[in-house]
Structure 1
């Protein structure tokens, strides 16, 4: 079935990702997932919410160039999300682009959310370590057994102190292949899309209600973020769990991801069930149109043909009540019904006269001789 889909622009280095890049990743992932339940598997990713609600579609008369008066900027606010494979979302961690952090920027937001700032507005090593200590460590301390964290391989996300805490709490870490997060990151694949669509709706309404503001007031951002998360709360599990599934993590199935790569050739071992072939061979009958060995001027009596046909020993027909192919073929047919229906149709349309006439015609007998018989 064909559908109209939006085209996503990706860099050439991302488009060049091939199956070989994922070979070591899935080998490491296979060993890391050993004896780890979904509630102990976590994926984290950093994203941003832009100060731009985007365009929308409306109906206008032809030759009209529609415009919408609304203040937008190129600014954005970074947020770290962490999702567990069984469908829960950990507290968010927001980073503002600022020298100082004001109290009004941190109130009226989502429950247990944390806030910080940096000069660039992105996560550096110090901010990432604070996120790890304040969000990941409390999550890991509540769980028994080994834990697995899946994330990108940015150098700012690792240091000696973090590695030491990983080892103390039996936390395993698996890096995603470079330039592949658009297909291998569970949050990227299934969660951020619905989240940002809802963000654009909330931001549009905010700008309509506050037309004088040229950009998002950071004091209002926690409230906007809370509205977005509350609106997507009912679909969190529905978006998080499929993200881990389509990336081949939970359940572990590399084929789910590798099928998306243009250079990947799936090795399919198809098995063919020979039940139907054996049935057809066992019930195959000889050609009913047989050639006679008569003299050129001899004739044939119809009763002789009838007696000859009934006296022949025919092969016993075994009717199978049902024949099923292998599960991969999804094929099924009831041969008993098909055989009986064919037999009924043959009886309705075929008479003894037609059988004998066909037999004699194929034997090059004259019509006159046949009619006299």
Structure 2
């Protein structure tokens, strides 16, 4: 049942600020009760009670009307709100169902009389609606999906190590502030993400036209500096051959790249590195610092050797931290995709009946790039990531909470915990008029309340603040931890993998030497593999008739081991196999083997 209660009176419609002004005017003898109530539009009786401190129920707020009051008092609700925010900061936020179940369990544990559903064991939708109104500091949001690897990798020791190493590299190489660059790739597709549109309220489904169900992937490469300049972008199209029509209306100076997959590779990164050097023109006296992620295509040996030779320092970001530390990810690609999707939608409206293909991608990307590649976005990207101006304390403490693997709540001694359990068991059943306020002492209520009185304002404090009544404070806290514990991760077993670890400075000699050794080992392995493979010959006939054809070959004419038929007399599409020991030849049919056989040793050698 949907909560649809509507108020029938305007009682309690006055504001707390007007009540405070009226009380101040009366206490300063500026006017009487009646005149103050008329000028500030507040009830006279309520004003008198608050001025004389005679309120029995609503001492701190105006939300109690008659005998109706919330099931959980202000202090418990403040603790619940604090707990909700703590879980959300760790990326384990509670849903409306979770909060309703938690409130029911709190009322049951504290033996508070409540009208909640005892069959479903949760609070009602009406209570949830009023709870959100009473606590406007929380709102219902759609969370952004964040992988566990990102949540764990972005931790304070890792970030401090990154900033220390970055500062060291900048100082050692004497990098000018305008020569700090950041490059990254992003994907564009011919199928846009539709924006929000207006539709009839209550309609079950709202649609929007897209080019197709699945789009064609295209990669764009963007590079910007901390001084606000941009290197001309690059576009990688998924094509085997170059087609100049694909790059019509592309941004001026665009580097035209293509490969079969449409993704960045080591060979393409080498070409892009030459493009970067030609535009930036670094010198040994004025080196360039290029910050990028640790993708395998960025660790090509030839590209790193070229960068070191041409005074370019490549600095790699820590793994799974690019969503916070990558200037392009933080400030640039979000607006770029937004403008690109708007451009695709506008193109479909202007060309009804047609679909967006890769021939329109360059033009649409050009319009989005012109709107995004601004001085403000470049400066904002480097500023919000703490690179320029350099600021290692750019990230607040709450951003590191998801990486915590232990419970950070206060430890409760064993004797104190036993006493808390006794206090929890000894709570008596309240009568109909008794509130949960009676379960907590007055001093504790005055300290932890987040809603101070108008007559005597007091600073607000949360439920976890230091209190003179620690036992009652831990009573509510232990209840929340028991019913909805903060997430704790078990210690993971280290899995040994073949990896080089995190290498931040890619142009250093140790890393280049390791790449050189890997390249030589790879070539030797390929040579050994090619020697092990069986040498195969295939006779291909260009004519339709099956006749004996002799193909020019560097080798002497040889005969089959089994039938003694010469190689020069072979028929069309006959396969020959070479013995791996004696190096003699035989027909695959004579040897009784398939033409796809990888090993062949003749009977004489066997």
Shorter-chain-normalised TM-score: which range? 0.5 to 0.7
Label 1:26 to 1:232 Cα distance change in 2 as closer, same or farther (>3 A): closer
Cα pair 2:240 2:258 within 8 Å, conserved: yes
Deviation (angstroms), 1:210: 2.8
> Which of 383, 395, 412 is the equivalent residue of 1:257?
395
**Corresponding residue for residue 379 of structure 2:** 241
Label 1:19 to 1:217 Cα distance change in 2 as closer, same or farther (>3 A): same
**Corresponding residue for residue 175 of structure 2:** 36
Whole-Å Cα distance in 2 between the matches of residues 4 and 101 of structure 1? 50
Deviation (angstroms), 1:255: 1.3
Cα pair 2:191 2:210 within 8 Å, conserved: no
**Corresponding residue for residue 109 of structure 1:** 250
Cα pair 2:238 2:262 within 8 Å, conserved: yes
**Corresponding residue for residue 342 of structure 1:** none
> Deviations 1:127-164 (Å, cap 9, x if unpaired)?
11111112334313479512211111122212332222
Map 1:140-155; keep pairs closer than 5 Å.
140-141=281-282, 144-155=285-296
**Corresponding residue for residue 118 of structure 1:** 259
Deviation (angstroms), 1:190: 0.7
Whole-Å Cα distance in 1 between the matches of residues 209 and 288 of structure 2? 50
Cα pair 1:91 1:112 within 8 Å, conserved: yes
**Corresponding residue for residue 316 of structure 1:** none
Whole-Å Cα distance in 2 between the matches of residues 12 and 264 of structure 1? 9
> Which of 188, 197, 215 is the equivalent residue of 1:57?
197
Cα pair 1:19 1:258 within 8 Å, conserved: no
Q: RCO (CA 8 Å, sep 6+): is it higher in 1 or 2?
A: 1
> 1:150 aligns to what SS in structure 2?
strand
Deviation (angstroms), 1:16: 1.5
State yes or no: 1:219 paired with 2:355: no
Label 1:186 to 1:2 Cα distance change in 2 as closer, same or farther (>3 A): farther
Deviation (angstroms), 1:78: 0.5
Whole-Å Cα distance in 2 between the matches of residues 231 and 98 of structure 1? 28
Label 1:28 to 1:140 Cα distance change in 2 as closer, same or farther (>3 A): farther
> Which of 302, 306, 318 is the equivalent residue of 1:165?
306
State yes or no: 1:231 paired with 2:368: no
State yes or no: 1:139 paired with 2:275: no
Whole-Å Cα distance in 2 between the matches of residues 70 and 154 of structure 1? 31
Cα pair 1:152 1:175 within 8 Å, conserved: yes
> Deviations 1:17-67 (Å, cap 9, x if unpaired)?
222322432222011122322210000000012223223231313234222
**How many aligned positions are there?**
262
State which drifts further: 74-83 or 14-23.
14-23
> 2:376 aligns to what SS in structure 1?
helix
**Corresponding residue for residue 306 of structure 1:** none
Label 1:162 to 1:64 Cα distance change in 2 as closer, same or farther (>3 A): closer
> Deviations 1:185-210 (Å, cap 9, x if unpaired)?
00000111111111111010112223
> 1:135 aligns to what SS in structure 2?
helix
Cα pair 2:294 2:319 within 8 Å, conserved: yes
Whole-Å Cα distance in 2 between the matches of residues 143 and 11 of structure 1? 41
Map 1:273-292; keep pairs closer than 5 Å.
none
Map 1:1-373; keep pairs closer than 5 Å.
7-17=143-153, 18-34=155-171, 35-55=174-194, 56-72=196-212, 73-141=214-282, 144-214=285-355, 216-233=356-373, 236-257=374-395, 259=397, 260-262=399-401
Cα pair 1:105 1:218 within 8 Å, conserved: yes
For structure 2, which runs of at least 5 residues remain unmatched after alignment?
A: 1-136, 405-606
**Corresponding residue for residue 86 of structure 2:** none
Cα pair 1:19 1:263 within 8 Å, conserved: no
> 1:90 aligns to what SS in structure 2?
strand
Whole-Å Cα distance in 2 between the matches of residues 99 and 263 of structure 1? 44
Whole-Å Cα distance in 2 between the matches of residues 201 and 142 of structure 1? 41
Whole-Å Cα distance in 2 between the matches of residues 119 and 257 of structure 1? 41
State which drifts further: 74-83 or 64-73.
64-73
**Corresponding residue for residue 343 of structure 1:** none
Whole-Å Cα distance in 2 between the matches of residues 257 and 120 of structure 1? 37
Cα pair 1:176 1:184 within 8 Å, conserved: yes
Could you state the TM-score of these two structures normalised by the residue count of structure 1?
A: 0.65
**Root-mean-square deviation (Å):** 2.4
> 1:111 aligns to what SS in structure 2?
coil
> 1:207 aligns to what SS in structure 2?
helix
**Corresponding residue for residue 320 of structure 1:** none
> Deviations 1:229-260 (Å, cap 9, x if unpaired)?
22334xx2111111111111111112113643
Cα pair 1:40 1:143 within 8 Å, conserved: no
Label 1:87 to 1:104 Cα distance change in 2 as closer, same or farther (>3 A): same
Deviation (angstroms), 1:168: 2.4
Deviation (angstroms), 1:100: 1.6
Whole-Å Cα distance in 2 between the matches of residues 94 and 127 of structure 1? 11
Cα pair 2:190 2:358 within 8 Å, conserved: no
Whole-Å Cα distance in 1 between the matches of residues 170 and 389 of structure 2? 10
Could you state the TM-score of these two structures normalised by the residue count of structure 2?
A: 0.41
